Amino acid sequence: MFCRVVLKEATRAFDREYTYAVPDHLAPCLASGSWVEIPFGSGNRLVQAFVVSVESESGTDFHVKPIQRLLSDRPVLRRDQLQLAGLMRQRYGCTYGDALRLMVPSAVAAVGDKLVRMAELPDPAEAARRLNDGEIDRIGHQRVIEMLLEYGAVPVPELMHACQVSRAVLKTLEKKDLITYFRQEVRRLGGEEDGFETVSDFEPNPGQREAIDRIHAALAEPGDDSRLAEFVLFGITGSGKTEVYLQTARQATQLGRGVIILVPEISLTPQMVGRIRSRFGSGAAVLHSRLTPAERYEQWQRILREEVSVVVGARSAIFAPLKNLGLIIIDEEQETTYKSETHPRYHARDIARLRCRETDAVLVLGSATPAIETFYRTTTGKATLLRLDQRIGDSQLPQTQIVDMRQELREGNRSVFSRPLNRALRRAFATKKQAMLFINRRGMAGFMLCRQCGHVIKCRTCSVSMTCHVRPATAVTREQLQLVCHYCGKITQPPSRCPICGSERIGRFGAGTQQVEKLFLEEYAPATAIRMDQDTTTGRQSHAQLLDQFARHEADVLIGTQMIAKGHDYPNVTVVGILSADLMLGMSDFRASERAFALITQAAGRAGRGEHAGEVFIQAYNTDDYAITAAAAQDYERFYQQEITFRKAMRYPPFGAIALVLVSGQNEKAVRDKMAQIHALLAARLSESLVAPAIELLEPGRAPLYQLRGRYRYRMIVKGKDNASLAQFLHSSLDRIDLAPLSLTIDIDPYSLL
């Protein structure tokens, strides 16, 4: 008996299938998808691999080495996942191992011996002193220390996810004797699937009933291999898309099919989990990055043991090993968080389409503001459009007003709160109602500028201005004003004089969430506020705790960034203020208007979801932009018509494919020369091949964000007919190019051109 395996860790040069013999004592347990350890290379070094097939003959005359041992008592991958890995290898230029590691999370292996690596502070008092004295000069380092001061010992994977840091950050702290590690036995926390009150399905309205029936028919009917069963559930905010998800998920499970439900933000997971568990109880599993290693291990094993039929989670849950997958639902499918920012740079929506084709499953994409490419598919017959045009019950869309902040300034109002918003907030608080204030910038101020010479304080290692933050006081640290780079995490103290001209006329400009919170508490006392942004949600349960507090009316207003703008349903919220709405339009990116429209529309949709009418105030200086005016009218199709015309003229998706080729390194000349070499190589290949009419190379140059973490960045934009042909051309052309010590990124269908 023999098997073919692929390596878990391999370079592109060694990334292929290898044949191994199966010892007799392993034969009864080994199958496709098994996780094994094999001797590899001339030195027979033991490495990990995955079995892709089991064969009766070796198919080779060479000596075949035997498998050393099994690493799991049951297969960790299903057949459709192995097929998916092959497709991802072609599409994203990654190795089998790169793809399969996404499907077998490290946490599944990390707790195999029931031990997990923990981090702690060897001397909490010394760590607190260094924080107070400003000796910690990176925001990631600060977050790690603050979290360990608050929680004591924390599992390393949880610490990395919660603080948004890499292992390199932890290694640096270890070298500075600020953290130490130890291993602790995993505590299996049972019973988290219990304690949810069972809720029956709600009676759907006519629009919901039609959508449910159409999706159910696709689930029940035999699949057509020539066409993907894809539905776009296009419903205004508050129209009851979640109920459609839940009822179609129940129908899929009754047919013996598995269901994956994706949500874009961790902050939305607690609400969605609660609703799903109220319908499916212990038949649902949760997968997202804030789970501890032990929790992730348990959830993954429950899926492999076929104890669950529904999986809910963020982007990585798309790889859940469900048996007989029948339905994938992607809520708020337009969100950028579904696109991976690390290699392989996959999009969960694309992976969902691949999995649905392989398993004959149904795909449902839900949104009030679908991605332009997604809505376009409904006009070409590649997807079926399902509409929900009315809000649930008697609630209506809120009344929306665009407030010209230029006029507010002319009439003497210099507050971040316009007069119409101010009046509405006071009316709401007087009647015990709540409000939400959305601003897509965190911190105290956007930047520091000298009024004398115009100098802006920038990060020394990134080509961006530094943001002013206030680090709040804790039991062991004091409040501190600091400048933070949101890209590399570098921290410096705000200067009292301009470093260029020496003027004292240097100050902070542009409000962020911290400043809005401070001004709100000053102007609306005794009203209370909860702030929700990346700085206040580092703890594993922070999202759920803050949202629960707001739901219990422990605060009058919820102030936050985009994590508060979508998916939340609070019937007592009657006022929404969208501050600095045009802040989102100044990005050097063809998707900037689309993202701005979606965020404003979603934020506005939080108001008036209960019995009482809602009011929305969109504050901007550029009040005539079509993204803002269409969002104010909650008119997606008006915005779509404007945007699709622009996309067609520029051959941007969906009328073509686009890729970003980026080279980075510490020597700017070397980066520039390598980018020029790559451009010449691709141009030469185009002149020699038949793909030239379908591929267009734009001139390379500095990236808009040309320096990041001390590395210079040059980019080239490549346009093509479709993603598949563009990926094949770029990966085959650049696969073997020598880049050391530089790095190369190829991003097909990027969500940002920065």
If asked whether residues 494 and 520 sit together in one domain, one would say no
pLDDT at 692: 54
If asked whether residues 66 and 149 sit together in one domain, one would say no
pLDDT at 457: 95
Rounded to an integer, the average pLDDT of 517-532 is 96
If asked whether residues 503 and 519 sit together in one domain, one would say no
Q: Closest by alpha carbon to 606, among 552, 551, 554? A: 551
Q: Write the CATH number for 686.
A: 3.30.70.600
Q: Closest by alpha carbon to 266, among 602, 539, 571? A: 539
Of 459 and 62, which is predicted with more confidence?
459
pLDDT, tens digit (0-9, with 9 covering 90-100), for 9-34: 888 888 999 999 999 999 999 999 99
pLDDT at 225: 58
Q: Closest by alpha carbon to 533, among 435, 436, 439, 421? A: 439
Q: Would you say the C-alpha torsion 26, 27, 30, 36 has a positive or negative sign?
A: positive
pLDDT at 292: 67
If asked whether residues 22 and 148 sit together in one domain, one would say no
* Chain Cα centroid distance, residue 327: 21
Tell the residue number behind the tokens 């105030």, with chain if given.
617
- Residue 90 domain flag: no
- Residue 237 domain flag: yes
d(CA 723, CA 721): 7
Q: Which segment of 255-259, 324-328, 533-537, 540-544 scores lowest on mean pLDDT?
A: 540-544
**261 backbone dihedrals φ, ψ, rounded to 5°:** -120, 120
**458 backbone dihedrals φ, ψ, rounded to 5°:** -115, 160
Rounded to an integer, the average pLDDT of 588-611 is 88
Tokens of 230: 């894809």
pLDDT at 191: 43
Q: Closest by alpha carbon to 698, among 664, 729, 660, 665? A: 660
Q: Write the CATH number for 53.
A: 3.40.1440.60
Q: Write the CATH number for 125.
A: 1.10.10
pLDDT tier at 53, thresholds 50, 70, 90: very high
If asked whether residues 256 and 322 sit together in one domain, one would say yes
Q: Which segment of 14-23, 106-115, 159-168, 604-613 scores lowest on mean pLDDT?
A: 106-115
d(CA 355, CA 346): 13
pLDDT at 222: 62
- Residue 94 domain flag: no
pLDDT at 694: 82
If asked whether residues 369 and 273 sit together in one domain, one would say yes
pLDDT tier at 587, thresholds 50, 70, 90: low
If asked whether residues 291 and 353 sit together in one domain, one would say yes
Rounded to an integer, the average pLDDT of 404-428 is 96
pLDDT at 113: 46
d(CA 403, CA 578): 10
> Is a pLDDT exceeding 90 seen at residue 370?
yes
DSSP characters over 329-365: EEETTT-GGGB-SSSS--BHHHHHHHHHHHHT-EEEE
d(CA 204, CA 240): 9
If asked whether residues 175 and 155 sit together in one domain, one would say yes
pLDDT, tens digit (0-9, with 9 covering 90-100), for 261-294: 999 876 556 677 788 888 888 888 988 766 766 7
Domain count of the fold of the chain: 6
Rounded to an integer, the average pLDDT of 167-194 is 76
pLDDT at 190: 44
Q: Are 538 and 147 contacting, i.e. CB atoms less than 8 angstroms apart?
A: yes
pLDDT at 273: 77
- Residue 192 domain flag: no
d(CA 215, CA 229): 9
Tokens of 127: 């760590």
Rounded to an integer, the average pLDDT of 67-73 is 89
Rounded to an integer, the average pLDDT of 223-237 is 83
- Residue 200 domain flag: no
Rounded to an integer, the average pLDDT of 162-166 is 79
Q: Which segment of 9-23, 407-421, 472-486, 616-630 scores lowest on mean pLDDT?
A: 472-486
DSSP state of 449: E
3-state secondary structure 469-508: EEECCCCCCCCEEEEECCCCCEEECCCCCCCCCCCCCEEE
pLDDT at 520: 97
- Residue 36 domain flag: yes
The side-by-side arrangement of strands in the sheet containing 154-155 is 154-155, 115-120, 180-185
Mean pLDDT of the chain: 89
Crossing angle between the packed helical segments 723-734 and 668-688, to the nearest 10 degrees = 120
Q: At which of 647, 680, 708 does a domain end? A: 647
The parent domain of residue 152 ranges over 115-185
Of 108 and 684, which is predicted with more confidence?
684
If asked whether residues 360 and 236 sit together in one domain, one would say yes
Residue 6, strand partner residues: 50
pLDDT tier at 189, thresholds 50, 70, 90: very low
- Residue 129 domain flag: yes
If asked whether residues 640 and 573 sit together in one domain, one would say yes
pLDDT at 293: 66
- Residue 753 domain flag: no
> Is a pLDDT exceeding 90 seen at residue 162?
no
Of 566 and 154, which is predicted with more confidence?
154
If asked whether residues 494 and 548 sit together in one domain, one would say no
Q: Closest by alpha carbon to 142, among 132, 152, 151? A: 132
- H/E run at residue 206: helix 206-220
- Percent of the chain clearing pLDDT 90 (strictly above): 59
Q: Are 435 and 425 contacting, i.e. CB atoms less than 8 angstroms apart?
A: yes
Determine the 3-state secondary structure of 689 from DSSP: coil
If asked whether residues 123 and 42 sit together in one domain, one would say no
Q: Write the CATH number for 383.
A: 3.40.50.300
Tell the residue number behind the tokens 């919220």, with chain if given.
573
> Is a pLDDT exceeding 60 seen at residue 196?
no
